[in-house]
Structure 1
Amino acid sequence: MAATDQPHYTAEEKRKRVFAIISASSGNLVEWFDFYVYSFASIYFASQFFPSGDSTAEFLKAAAVFAVGFLMRPIGGWMFGRIADRVGRKKSMVISVLMMCGGSLAIAVLPTYATIGVAAPILLLIIRMFQGLSVGGEYGTTATYMSEVALRGQRGFFSSFQYVTLIGGQLLAVLTVVVLEQFLSDAELKSWGWRIPFVIGAIAAVVSLMLRRTLHETIKPEDSKNKDAGTLAGIFKNHRAAFITVLGYTAGGSLIFYTFTTYMQKYLVNTSGMPAKTASVVMTGALFLYMCMQPLFGMLADRIGRRQSMMLFGALGALATYPILAILRGNTSPYIAFALITVALAIISLYTSIGGLVKAEMFPPEVRALGVGFSYAIANAIFGGSAEFVGLTFKNLGHENWFFLYVTVMMAIAFLFSMRLPKTPSYLHTDH
């Protein structure tokens, strides 16, 4: 968009839009804190629900439950996307955070295997499925809402705050565990200390609910009343190519994201041989830098274009993944680990800073939340949520380098699908 074509916003309208971004993204932070705290705390509670005496086996079972939660995402993406497109973005976001709150509270009070036997892991699985529904609808609706209220000409910058708060949720989750590690012994953490983060998440969700109730609605009545609004038929009839493209690059994006965030802590402990507390500190620092990178890479995309950023992400990810993971496997230095993980997260930032916006630009308002949420959830369920499980499975088989190759191939595929992105998006009238 040329400078002369930039829309004029009054000071009041700018203030309202910025406040809407803050309110939506703050709720996003709480939602993802609640979801990710499972992964970071599982180092301590895995033996409480899946006792076996073998740490890899216990981590593997906990990771399987984490992956099953992802399998519920497509249903959540469809359910909440339909609500957002037919009833409203605001109502969809309020319901999703309420569901996440209930799930966290349930895990916080859940009896362990020693108390109720096999019922403990079964109940944990059911709760994670419930939370998977919630977070499955969170991404698409929040991405849609933030893309619709962001200031034109700066959409990359403002939309990047979805991942600032998503990563912030991860960061606060691991930071909570780090703080607990300073005050509680390993025995206390495994006995009862792991429950504290879930209590914090449930309480924070109440604050999120209050913020989201202040949001104004962005979908127009004529769009929500469209006969195709919130329907899969409307997507597959008119926007099949866009749906497949989003699936293609989200598969690689989700896989590499979860490889270097949630799985990386376990990788440093279980493969590199790093102490759990050291690994937590490394990941805290790396995630903090990653969070700070998002607005910078969003601004870069506003300058060079979303398509170019996505292609760089795919190409660099395919080239760098194998060597970074291979070096980390034989490394015990927390400083080298921190540097390598930060490089990987910088590459991933080319995607995460604008991922939601790129998806939203490809669908019209009547199917935007469903198109974004459902395609993202499918790719996440298959490739993102299984990252830990696949990585640990290959390690168990004695072929951990196969996982390195798997991620590399998926990044090459992400590059090819990024080439399919239109140079000028049809929707949202963006500058790139």
Structure 2
Amino acid sequence: MALAIADEPQISVQRAAFAATIGNMLEFYDFITYSFFAVEIGRTFFPAQSAYGSLMLSLATFGAGFVTRPIGGIVLGIYSDRVGRRPAMLLSFALMGVAILTIALTPSYATIGLAAPIIVILARMVQGFALGGEVGPTTAYLLEIASPENRALVVAWQPTSQEIAATAGALVGVVLSRAMAPEALDAYGWRIAFLIGAACLPVGLWMRSSLPETVIPDASKEEARTSHLVLAGRHIRLIVLALMILASGTISTYVTQYMTTYAKTTLHVAADLAFTVSVVSNGLQIAGAILGGWLADRYGRKPVMVWPQLAVLVLTYPAFLWIVNAPGAWSLLFGFGLLSAIGSLPYTAFYAAFTEALPQEIRGGVFATIYAVAIASFGGTAQLVVTWLLHVSGDPLAPSWYLLVAAAAGLVAMALIPETAPAKIGRVELNKRTA
């Protein structure tokens, strides 16, 4: 299937989808890489009297990127609605690349002193700004290049690309940590991991520069003369529901990323098994995201959101109970793997439903802002909350409590969000909503 818009060149939907989601891949690759090498990064840029102090400073710098995400979501999201998806995606990708290269190439504290941590903190803030404006425009673009019958499946490449990159980042981290001596890893090994991600920058910029544009500004339309804030206000109920769903999904994602640490430190299983659980979980989420998109196109957005989310709500506590009482390969791989697979189904359907329900004039900005706010508020705190719950309760089942509350809130919102699938409401009505 080929895509050609206005005077733009013809390009396949598959290639356009890959070019649009390459920024998400770089985002999650960097996320996993920074998490994996937080100790080494701390020693390089944040020397302290204790290893704990150095690590905490490193993690605080990682968290600095969350602060600027909502700002990037507002600025770049609105920019994509006013000027076009392609220039917004090019700008966010370029800023992201500059930030990653800056972190990888900044000399250590021992070499340039206080300038080193300052540069790294600023780079993380620039990166957060870029990432905040990445997801909204790309999700809107994926929806807009797809045919109505396949929109959810094309949008599925948003979460799929994230899981692929997370898996790649984990694999690169493990390979480098096993292939290099600890001294070499501290000195330059972690930089290699970042530079591997940065290697995709030229290709990504080239691919995005050739994308056809989907936003054709039309000053004659009433919406074009109306502010983003006024238009968004007309969809406030939808936005609140979307924020609840994204908060639920964000908590689930970041607690999932914590499970490797949880398996090692709380359940005391072997590191190899903990890593295997992470890889298997990511693989199942890749399959679940694609399957969720396929099902949402055929049976509607709401059934694919509500029923899997209900299953997650019912299965979370029993799965954790099994994992805690009998920690091992079977319980971790099957119990946690089952939750990962089922839990990944609803969010592709949600991405499609939310973007379809918004008019194009505010689609990129609203999605980017709500997504960035959810990530900054709940993603940046999820692992801290779980660690705190484990500490104050002493109960290894504590992560399941947080997941249950998040899943329940997400289920309520999913049940209330409007259906937008052509299979349910018809193409004519859908075109009126998305025009």
TM-score category (smaller protein):
0.7 to 0.9
- Work out whether residues 85 and 369 of structure 1, in 8 Å CA contact, stay in contact via their aligned partners in 2: yes
408-417 or 291-300, which deviates more: 291-300
Q: 1:62 and 1:308, CA in 2 relative to 1: closer, same or farther beyond 3 A?
A: farther
- Partner amino acid, structure 2, of 1:247: L
CA shift for structure 1 position 198: 0.9
Residue aligning to 1:137 = 133
CA shift for structure 1 position 404: 3.0
Residue aligning to 1:42 = 38
Q: Where do 1:54-203 residues align within 5 Å?
A: 61-112=57-108, 120-203=116-199
- Partner amino acid, structure 2, of 1:285: V
The separation in 2 between residues aligned to 1:58 and 1:312, in whole angstroms, is: 44
- Work out whether residues 99 and 124 of structure 2, in 8 Å CA contact, stay in contact via their aligned partners in 1: yes
Q: 1:275 and 1:392, CA in 2 relative to 1: closer, same or farther beyond 3 A?
A: same
Residue aligning to 1:5 = none
Per-residue CA distance 1:229-257 (angstroms, 9 max, x = gap): 79441344321112111111111111101
Per-residue CA distance 1:318-354 (angstroms, 9 max, x = gap): 2333444455456653453232332121122113333
Per-residue CA distance 1:369-418 (angstroms, 9 max, x = gap): 01111111111111122212222233344546544322211210111111
Residue aligning to 1:405 = 401
Match of 1:270 among 252, 265, 269: 265
The separation in 1 between residues aligned to 2:216 and 2:163, in whole angstroms, is: 31
Q: Where do 1:391-402 residues align within 5 Å?
A: 391-399=386-394, 401-402=397-398
Unpaired segments ≥5 residues, structure 2? 422-428
Confirm or deny that 1:285 pairs with 2:280. yes
- Work out whether residues 70 and 380 of structure 1, in 8 Å CA contact, stay in contact via their aligned partners in 2: yes
Q: Which has the higher contact order (CA 8 A, sep 6+)?
A: 1
The separation in 2 between residues aligned to 1:429 and 1:220, in whole angstroms, is: 17
Cα RMSD (Å): 3.1
- Work out whether residues 252 and 413 of structure 1, in 8 Å CA contact, stay in contact via their aligned partners in 2: yes
Match of 1:19 among 2, 8, 15: 15
The separation in 2 between residues aligned to 1:131 and 1:429, in whole angstroms, is: 36
Confirm or deny that 1:219 pairs with 2:212. no
Match of 1:390 among 382, 385, 391: 385
Confirm or deny that 1:206 pairs with 2:202. yes
- Work out whether residues 71 and 382 of structure 1, in 8 Å CA contact, stay in contact via their aligned partners in 2: no
The separation in 2 between residues aligned to 1:12 and 1:227, in whole angstroms, is: 25
TM-score with structure 2 setting the length: 0.86
The separation in 1 between residues aligned to 2:404 and 2:160, in whole angstroms, is: 25
- Work out whether residues 271 and 329 of structure 1, in 8 Å CA contact, stay in contact via their aligned partners in 2: no
Confirm or deny that 1:362 pairs with 2:395. no
Residue aligning to 1:416 = 412
The separation in 2 between residues aligned to 1:143 and 1:167, in whole angstroms, is: 15
Match of 2:374 among 371, 379, 392: 379
- Partner amino acid, structure 2, of 1:361: E
CA shift for structure 1 position 182: 3.1
Residue aligning to 2:425 = none
The separation in 2 between residues aligned to 1:330 and 1:191, in whole angstroms, is: 41
Residue aligning to 1:314 = 309
- Work out whether residues 69 and 133 of structure 2, in 8 Å CA contact, stay in contact via their aligned partners in 1: yes
36-45 or 338-347, which deviates more: 36-45
Q: 1:33 and 1:225, CA in 2 relative to 1: closer, same or farther beyond 3 A?
A: farther
CA shift for structure 1 position 54: 5.9
- Work out whether residues 358 and 433 of structure 2, in 8 Å CA contact, stay in contact via their aligned partners in 1: no
Q: Could you say what secondary structure the match of 1:353 adopts?
A: helix
Matched positions, count: 421
The separation in 2 between residues aligned to 1:325 and 1:186, in whole angstroms, is: 34
TM-score with structure 1 setting the length: 0.86
Confirm or deny that 1:238 pairs with 2:234. yes
Q: Percent identity at matched positions?
A: 30
CA shift for structure 1 position 136: 0.8
Q: Where do 1:306-345 residues align within 5 Å?
A: 306-329=301-324, 332-345=327-340
- Work out whether residues 85 and 213 of structure 2, in 8 Å CA contact, stay in contact via their aligned partners in 1: yes
Q: 1:142 and 1:84, CA in 2 relative to 1: closer, same or farther beyond 3 A?
A: same
Confirm or deny that 1:349 pairs with 2:374. no
- Partner amino acid, structure 2, of 1:280: F
